[in-house]
Structure 1
């Protein structure tokens, strides 16, 4: 149980920070950014990139470097994507100071997707290089 909590702490902290940033802070209290670039989409992308990356890496470590692939993808990609969709629904129906947008959820999905690809490729490369070290 102690090991499970150790590997859940960082993903859950990330989830909490995303929830606070996207639901509890009023959009009028967000800092203004220069016009012409969809900064909010970049923020969504970055938050969900971080969430998926942390979830994938921690699950990888929890499974001692040999996670079951489907479960790994489920926890590292699908759960964050569903969480992002859930946040958008909560913004639409429960938090009047916020608004829901398809573009935000798409940015969440793309952030999670890129994190999944980057983490899987980097961990496979790392494992490959560790196997092929010759002395």
Structure 2
């Protein structure tokens, strides 16, 4: 019984870190997959901007929960917010550049970067206001 519960306990103790890693992988894969390989989304105006917002909102919330709350790699919450912001901007910019350079059916779009940043800023405001929900 002890052999089974130890790995489960470790997974539970690192749930936000695991979710953050999975989120990053999903954002990278979904950002770089060719458009023709994606299922056809409903024609909702600006849906891709909402998705960009959501990707980076989730990235930022999970970053703070993983690196400040769970692992305490960044023990100061304000520094964690700065690192979350900087890393989200760098990943977002990198994904946009790679979309333009590596894919045929996608292009780098500066407006996507605006929505990535907006998602990150809203997530940080949310975490600042509601971080007690995650204690």
- Is there any run of 5+ residues in structure 1 with no aligned partner, and where? 131-135
2:18 corresponds to 1:12: no
2:121 corresponds to 1:121: no
Q: 2:84 aligns with which of 73, 76, 82?
A: 76
CA offsets per residue over residues 52-96 of structure 1, 9 Å max, x none?
0111112221229x8314430233221011100100000111222
- The count of corresponding residues between Structure 1 and Structure 2 is 122
SS in 1 for 2:42: coil
Q: Which residue of 1 aligns with 2:4?
A: none
Q: Which residue of 2 aligns with 1:133?
A: none
Q: Which residue of 2 aligns with 1:63?
A: 72
Normalised to the residue count of structure 1, the TM-score between the two structures is: 0.77
- Is there any run of 5+ residues in structure 2 with no aligned partner, and where? 1-9
Which region of structure 1 is more displaced relative to structure 2, 74-83 or 106-115?
Answer: 74-83
| Superposition CA RMSD, Å | 2.7
SS in 1 for 2:121: helix
Indicate if the aligned counterparts of 2:54 and 2:119 stay in contact, CA closer than 8 A.
yes
Normalised to the residue count of structure 2, the TM-score between the two structures is: 0.77
